């Protein structure tokens, strides 16, 4: 058993991001570093970024087939393959980060997530959170639901479906052409991530209205692990992995908070043209109703989806009641005092 | 020798058929992109499904075009020595390249591409974007199909080279590289 | 080390004259299976899929289609010969016209396969018909077709923006001056060179001996307008936001067909034949991309990327030494590796070093972009050279293209050196 304990392992990890993509890429690097140190070098993680495997949205398939032992990505990217994977990233009008982490680790979320990934021979773990994502860059102010009608916006996935329901025209634009497309009014609005990552693309130079978020209140990335690779690891290394994934997820949440705060400060200082806006009430009401309708449709289509939606709704209600008398109450107090 | 000629012509027909599909896709793609631009700009109407159709068609253009270009000798060669060589030497180079490079390469892409498409079929994969196209396995299966036709075009290179070796055909004329410009 | 041996093997195999795309693929196959086993190629469908979903590359078939239609309807010839006539008895007029048209195309696409092939189709037959030297003609076309990589919009700048975390808009603005200077130098080179060797670029013959110079200029201008208007429409659609750069290439294709109708050159057969040519050339370009992606896959999965990283760690830690050596390394690597690999493997290593020296990252990015666009032109693996060879008539040999490009490579190195030494000429500063 002494020999067995000394056995060395290397896991190959494919991430959806490019080599030095900030925050997201730092998360996997920290994870790999922690694993190696905690295991005294017995377990190593070799990270391949998108430039190497060339398949940012093929991470699911590559980990499933065992071409990679692990992946770092976001669960909602697999919506087109396995619709139920949608719910483990962040949902419009859903839980905020603390609530959602509580749901994952104490409210049954993890069990549901494994149930969805199990048939595909994979395990999935929370892999870092961006916090509340911004609602997007708009070149015109949105004063009513009317202003959204026919608006061309780059907004993918489920949030795009919600927007489509209220009259927006979701539009595909290659990421490399986004800046030019927004600058020349080929499209009217762009949804990206948050200040830290948006700043790099330069949207603040060409759009004045930066809307607050509602569609991804707690975007959680994921670690994907091929089940066979996982089962080859001895129990102690599995535990090291679990701890390291949890720690790097937490690190990403606080790094996001920090980087966004820094980036927002610099946008405020260097681009006084940028104004923070919130959608008007009629827009929110319409989007809330549209979201509800789409969720009902998803629940009607799949029992598993119905189970997850129910679990999330119930948990959100319960934990939000407490958030209301704790964080929200405190922030309200602060708003009055300062 | 008669059956070689028959085989050669049959395989040639197959590659030209690929070219026909690619040409149709080419014209449809140009129309598709043009239509999408006009609809968006003039009528403020966007369909993600139509936008995705653009890259579906564009993929068919080059994936089906590659075997066609093999038959028509459209793939660029470095001709530092090649043009100076006799028909016989060229034939042997093409036989060697087809058997060692083209066919094994196509085999691997076809083999793994088949699994790639089947996986998409079994999961019922579709677009994750609003109004996007369903049935992603269809476009993914163009990869193994392309590989099959590249392999047959590779066999075609061999049959053609055998005809050249037998003195029945020559590499000049019909089979000269490029020359579009 | 396998990666390095593989480059040597590919070079030798290429010389045998088997199609370039399948030579890359086949060599990758042998080395890949030897080093990593068959299953390495399970990645290939993913890599092909990422080419399929890279919608920016859609500009390749669309621009080629525009080029083929302009060529088949002889409108391209009309454009270039008329422009050439504007230069009167001056030799080199066609080459200068080619550079100017190339510059216009460069402003509407950032995809090199699209512009080189389109320029090849449009201007190579015209220059050859007017007894231009093959080397001068092919060099001019490759160089002006590659301008799209530095003149915005450009894929290189977008990738560098991503890798270096710089706003794309800033990069686009900073690249305009270097692009303009490069175009100016190309033209100056043609003017000077043809002064000494007028026989390499004969002046256009007079259309009609009886015509006055004024009438000749008027005729030429009238003939230029329709095809030039097409290119202006393509560009205008981008600037007004009607279309993205990629989509603008479809407007170009449809517009070329409309021009053909106006000039009574249209027939369904013409469109079908143009489509066949387009498919053939597009397939040639994409087969190279797929062969090259197999090649770079084997290179990086056998540790080639780590080896490069190790080498880069040995660069000097003093500003000027660092800049000069970094530029040399990129230039030399550009002979062999494609620019995307360089951007993603090398640049992330160089960037933090440059940043720690207080080097202005915008300036650094423009230096890299200038350098990377050269890599499309450097033999033996310069993709622009392959693409042009792919559409050139058989009498234009690979070696002609290799030799013809050398003066233009030297001009690019000159501009690179100017940006290094006199950044302020280009509206930049070397440090913060
Ligand atoms: Na360009
Ligand atoms: Na090169």
The predicted-structure confidence for A23-41, as pLDDT tens digits, reads as follows: 999 999 999 999 999 999 9
Q: How far is A202 from chain C (nearest CA, A)?
A: 5
Which pLDDT score, from 0 to 100, does residue A5 have?
A: 58
Q: Please give the Cα distance from A148 to A168 (Å, whole number).
A: 6
Token code pair at residue A16: 């959806």
Q: Is the pLDDT of residue A126 over 70?
A: yes
ipTM of the prediction: 0.93
Which pLDDT score, from 0 to 100, does residue A246 have?
A: 97
Residues of B in contact with C270 (CB under 8 A): none
Flag residues of chain B having pLDDT under 50.
Answer: 173-178
Q: Cβ of C32 under 8 Å from any chain A Cβ? A: no
- Contact in structure between A287 and A83 (CB atoms under 8 Å): no
Expressed in angstroms, the distance from the first to the final Cα of chain C is 39
> Greater confidence, C220 or C61?
C61
Identify the nearest ligand to the CA of C330 by its number: 2
Residues of C in contact with A172 (CB under 8 A): 55
Q: For the residues C388-407, what does the mean pLDDT come to?
A: 91
Helix (H) or strand (E) holding C219: helix C213-239
Residues of A in contact with C243 (CB under 8 A): 186
Given the DSSP bridges, would you call strands A275-277 and A189-190 parallel, antiparallel or unpaired? unpaired
Q: Cβ of C260 under 8 Å from any chain B Cβ? A: no
Say how many Å lie between the CA of residue C112 and the centre of ligand 1. Answer: 9
Task: Quote the percentage of chain A above a pLDDT of 70.
Answer: 99
Q: Report yes or no on C2 lying in a domain.
A: no
Q: Is the pLDDT of residue A250 over 80?
A: yes
Say how many Å lie between the CA of residue C103 and the centre of ligand 1. Answer: 9
pLDDT per position as a tens digit, A10-25: 999 999 998 778 899 9
Task: Give me the residues paired with residue A35 across strands.
Answer: none
Q: Please give the Cα distance from C200 to C345 (Å, whole number).
A: 41
Which pLDDT score, from 0 to 100, does residue A212 have?
A: 94
Q: Cβ of C243 under 8 Å from any chain A Cβ? A: yes
Q: Is the pLDDT of residue A334 over 70?
A: yes
How many Cβ atoms are within 10 Å of B62's Cβ, its own excluded? Answer: 28
Which pLDDT score, from 0 to 100, does residue C207 have?
A: 67
Token code pair at residue C16: 């045998």
Residues of C in contact with A181 (CB under 8 A): 241, 244
Identify the nearest ligand to the CA of C147 by its number: 1
Residues of A in contact with B43 (CB under 8 A): none
Please judge whether A77 and B128 are an interchain contact, meaning their C-beta atoms are less than 8 angstroms apart: yes
To test the contact with chain A by mutation, choose from C169, C343, C348 the residue with the greatest count of A C-beta atoms within 10 A, namely C169
Name the residue in chain C with its Cα closest to that of A199.
C167
Q: Report yes or no on C128 lying in a domain.
A: yes
Q: Is the pLDDT of residue C186 over 90?
A: yes
**pTM score, two decimals?**
0.91
Which pLDDT score, from 0 to 100, does residue A35 have?
A: 98
Which pLDDT score, from 0 to 100, does residue A305 have?
A: 97
Residues C106, C107, C112, C116, Cα dihedral to 10°: -30
Q: Please give the Cα distance from C244 to C242 (Å, whole number).
A: 7
Indicate the residue of C52, C125, C399 with minimum beta-carbon distance to B80. Answer: C399
In which band, very low, low, confident or very high, does the pLDDT at A207 lie, cut at 50, 70 and 90? Answer: very high
**DSSP code at position A149:** T
Q: Report yes or no on C72 lying in a domain.
A: yes
- Contact in structure between B38 and C247 (CB atoms under 8 Å): no
Please judge whether B180 and C250 are an interchain contact, meaning their C-beta atoms are less than 8 angstroms apart: no
Please judge whether C345 and A51 are an interchain contact, meaning their C-beta atoms are less than 8 angstroms apart: yes
Identify the nearest ligand to the CA of C235 by its number: 1
Domain residue ranges of chain B, discontinuous segments joined by +: 1-166
Token code pair at residue C289: 């991309």
> Greater confidence, C48 or A7?
C48
Q: Please give the Cα distance from A323 to A329 (Å, whole number).
A: 8
What's A68-125 look like in SS3? CCEEEEEHHHHCCCCHHHHHHCCCCCCCCHHHHHHHHHHCCHHHHHHHHHHHHCEEEE
- Contact in structure between B29 and B61 (CB atoms under 8 Å): yes
Q: Exposed (0-12), middle (13-18) or buried (19+): which is C338, by Cβ within 10 Å?
A: buried
Q: For the residues C245-256, what does the mean pLDDT come to?
A: 89
> Greater confidence, A330 or C332?
A330
Q: How far is C426 from chain A (nearest CA, A)?
A: 22
Q: For the residues A65-81, what does the mean pLDDT come to?
A: 95
Q: Cβ of C254 under 8 Å from any chain B Cβ? A: yes
pLDDT per position as a tens digit, C107-161: 877 777 788 998 899 899 999 999 999 999 999 999 999 998 888 878 788 888 8
Q: How far is A82 from chain B (nearest CA, A)?
A: 7
Tally of domains in chain C? 1
Residues of A with a Cβ under 8 Å from any C Cβ are 18-20, 22, 49, 51-56, 58, 61-62, 65, 67, 172-174, 176-177, 179-181, 183-186, 199-202, 205-206
Average pLDDT, chain A: 93
Q: For the residues A186-206, what does the mean pLDDT come to?
A: 86
Name the residue in chain B with its Cα closest to that of C287.
B66
Q: For the residues A59-86, what does the mean pLDDT come to?
A: 96
Radius of gyration of chain A (CA): 21
Please name the residues between 121 and 140 in chain B that touch chain A, using a CB distance below 8 Å: 123-132, 136
Residues of B in contact with A121 (CB under 8 A): none
In which band, very low, low, confident or very high, does the pLDDT at A4 lie, cut at 50, 70 and 90? Answer: low
Of A132-136, C222-226, C317-321, which has the strongest mean pLDDT? A132-136
Whole-angstrom CA distances from A244 to A225, A259, C411 are 14, 22, 53
Lowest mean pLDDT: which of B6-15, B115-124, C23-32, C76-85?
C76-85
Which pLDDT score, from 0 to 100, does residue C209 have?
A: 67
Identify the nearest ligand to the CA of C341 by its number: 2
Q: Please give the Cα distance from C426 to A134 (Å, whole number).
A: 37
Q: Which domain does C396 fall in, by range? A: 8-426
pLDDT per position as a tens digit, C364-394: 999 999 998 888 898 888 889 988 998 898 8
Lowest mean pLDDT: which of A228-237, B28-37, C344-353?
C344-353
Say how many Å lie between the CA of residue A214 and the centre of ligand 1. Answer: 37
pLDDT per position as a tens digit, C202-219: 887 776 666 777 888 888
Q: Please give the Cα distance from C202 to C90 (Å, whole number).
A: 8
To test the contact with chain C by mutation, choose from B22, B24, B27, B30 the residue with the greatest count of C C-beta atoms within 10 A, namely B30
Which pLDDT score, from 0 to 100, does residue B177 have?
A: 40
In which band, very low, low, confident or very high, does the pLDDT at A174 lie, cut at 50, 70 and 90? Answer: confident
Q: Report yes or no on C122 lying in a domain.
A: yes
Q: Please give the Cα distance from A260 to A134 (Å, whole number).
A: 11
In which band, very low, low, confident or very high, does the pLDDT at A9 lie, cut at 50, 70 and 90? Answer: very high
Q: Report yes or no on C1 lying in a domain.
A: no
Q: Is C211 helix (H, G, I), strand (E, B) or coil?
A: coil
Which pLDDT score, from 0 to 100, does residue B174 have?
A: 37
Indicate the residue of A51, A172, A206 with minimum beta-carbon distance to C344. Answer: A51
Q: Cβ of B173 under 8 Å from any chain A Cβ? A: no
> Greater confidence, C218 or A46?
A46
């Amino acid at each position: 058993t002494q020999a067995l304990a000394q056995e060395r392992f290397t896991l190959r990890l494919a991430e959806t991001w490019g080599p030095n993509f900030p925050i997201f890429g730092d998360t996997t690097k920290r994870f790999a570093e922690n694993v190696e140190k905690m295991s005294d070098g017995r377990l190593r993680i070799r990270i391949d970024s998108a430039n190497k495997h060339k398949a940012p949205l093929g991470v699911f398939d590559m980990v499933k087939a065992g071409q990679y032992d692990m992946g770092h990505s976001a669960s909602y990217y697999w919506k087109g393959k396995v619709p139920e994977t949608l719910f483990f990233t962040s949902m419009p009008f859903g839980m905020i980060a603390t609530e959602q982490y509580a749901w994952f680790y104490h409210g049954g979320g993890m069990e549901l997530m494994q149930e969805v990934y199990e048939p595909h021979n994979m395990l999935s773990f929370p892999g870092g959170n961006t916090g509340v994502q911004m609602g997007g860059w708009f070149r015109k102010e949105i004063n009513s639901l009317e202003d959204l009608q026919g608006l061309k916006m780059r907004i993918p996935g489920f949030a795009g479906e919600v927007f489509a329901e209220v009259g927006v025209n979701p539009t595909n634009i290659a990421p490399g052409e986004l800046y030019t497309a927004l600058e020349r009014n080929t499209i009217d609005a762009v949804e990206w991530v948050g200040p830290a990552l948006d700043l790099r693309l330069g949207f603040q130079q060409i759009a004045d209205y930066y809307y607050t978020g509602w569609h991804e209140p707690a975007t959680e990335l994921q670690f994907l692990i091929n089940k066979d690779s996982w089962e080859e690891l001895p129990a102690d290394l599995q535990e090291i992995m679990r701890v390291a994934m949890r720690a790097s997820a937490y690190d990403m949440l606080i790094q996001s908070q920090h980087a966004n705060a820094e980036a927002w400060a610099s946008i405020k200082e260097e681009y006084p043209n940028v104004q923070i806006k919130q959608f008007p009430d009629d827009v929110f009401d319409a989007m809330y109703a549209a979201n509800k309708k789409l969720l009902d449709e998803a629940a009607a289509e799949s029992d598993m989806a119905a189970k997850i939606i129910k679990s999330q709704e119930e948990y959100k209600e319960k934990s939000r009641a407490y958030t209301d008398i704790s964080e929200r109450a405190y922030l309200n107090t602060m708003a009055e005092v300062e | 020798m008669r059956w070689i000629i028959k085989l050669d012509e049959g395989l040639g027909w197959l590659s030209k058929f690929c070219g026909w599909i690619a040409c149709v896709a080419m014209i449809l793609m140009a129309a598709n992109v043009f239509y999408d631009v006009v609809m968006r700009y003039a009528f403020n109407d966007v369909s993600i499904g139509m936008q995705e159709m653009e890259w579906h068609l564009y993929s068919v253009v080059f994936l089906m075009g590659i075997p066609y270009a093999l038959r028509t000798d459209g793939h660029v060669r470095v001709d530092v020595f090649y043009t100076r060589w006799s028909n016989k030497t060229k034939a042997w180079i093409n036989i060697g390249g087809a058997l060692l490079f083209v066919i094994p390469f196509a085999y691997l892409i076809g083999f793994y591409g088949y699994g790639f498409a089947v996986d998409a079929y079994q999961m019922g994969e579709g677009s994750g974007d609003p109004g996007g196209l369903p049935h992603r396995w269809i476009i993914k299966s163009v990869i193994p199909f392309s590989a099959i036709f590249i392999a047959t075009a590779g066999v075609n290179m061999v049959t053609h080279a055998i005809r050249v070796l037998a003195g029945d055909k020559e590499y000049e004329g019909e089979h000269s590289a490029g020359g579009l410009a | 080390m396998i990666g390095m041996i593989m480059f040597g093997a590919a070079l030798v195999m290429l010389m045998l004259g088997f199609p370039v795309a399948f030579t890359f693929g086949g060599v990758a196959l042998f080395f890949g299976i030897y080093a990593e086993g068959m299953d390495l190629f399970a990645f290939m469908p993913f890599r092909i899929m990422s080419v399929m979903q890279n919608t920016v590359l859609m500009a390749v078939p669309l621009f080629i289609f525009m080029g083929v239609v302009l060529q088949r309807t002889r409108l391209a010839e009309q454009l270039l010969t008329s422009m050439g006539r504007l230069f009167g008895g001056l030799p080199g007029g066609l080459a200068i016209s080619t550079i100017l048209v190339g510059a216009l195309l460069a402003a509407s696409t950032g995809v090199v396969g699209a512009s080189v092939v389109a320029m090849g189709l449009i201007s190579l037959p015209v220059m050859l018909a007017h007894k231009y030297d093959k080397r001068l003609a092919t060099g001019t076309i490759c160089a002006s077709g590659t301008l799209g990589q530095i003149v915005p919009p450009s894929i290189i700048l977008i990738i560098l923006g991503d890798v270096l975390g710089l706003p794309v808009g800033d990069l686009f603005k900073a690249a305009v001056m270097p692009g303009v200077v490069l175009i100016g130098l190309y033209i100056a080179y043609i003017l000077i060179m043809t002064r000494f060797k007028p026989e390499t670029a004969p002046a256009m013959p007079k259309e009609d001996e009886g015509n006055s110079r004024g009438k000749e200029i008027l005729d030429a201008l009238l003939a230029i307008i329709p095809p030039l208007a097409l290119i202006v429409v393509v560009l205008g659609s981008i600037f007004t936001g009607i279309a993205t750069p990629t989509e603008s290439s479809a407007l170009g294709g449809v517009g070329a067909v409309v021009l053909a109708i106006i000039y009574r050159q249209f027939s369904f057969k013409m469109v079908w034949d143009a489509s066949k040519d387009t498919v053939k050339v597009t397939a040639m370009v994409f087969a190279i991309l797929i062969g090259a992606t197999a090649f770079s896959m084997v290179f990086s999965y056998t540790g080639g990327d780590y080896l490069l990283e190790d080498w880069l760690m040995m660069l000097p830690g003093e500003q000027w030494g660092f800049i000069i050596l970094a530029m040399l390394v990129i230039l030399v690597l550009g002979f062999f590796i494609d620019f995307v690999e360089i951007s993603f493997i090398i640049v992330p290593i160089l960037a933090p070093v440059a940043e720690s020296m207080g080097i202005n990252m915008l300036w650094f990015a423009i230096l890299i972009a200038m350098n990377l666009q050269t890599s499309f032109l450097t033999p033996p693996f310069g993709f622009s050279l392959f693409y042009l060879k792919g559409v050139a008539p058989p009498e234009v040999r690979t070696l002609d293209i290799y030799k013809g490009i050398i003066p233009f490579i030297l001009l690019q190195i000159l501009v690179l050196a100017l940006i290094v030494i006199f950044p302020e000429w280009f509206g930049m500063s070397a440090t913060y």
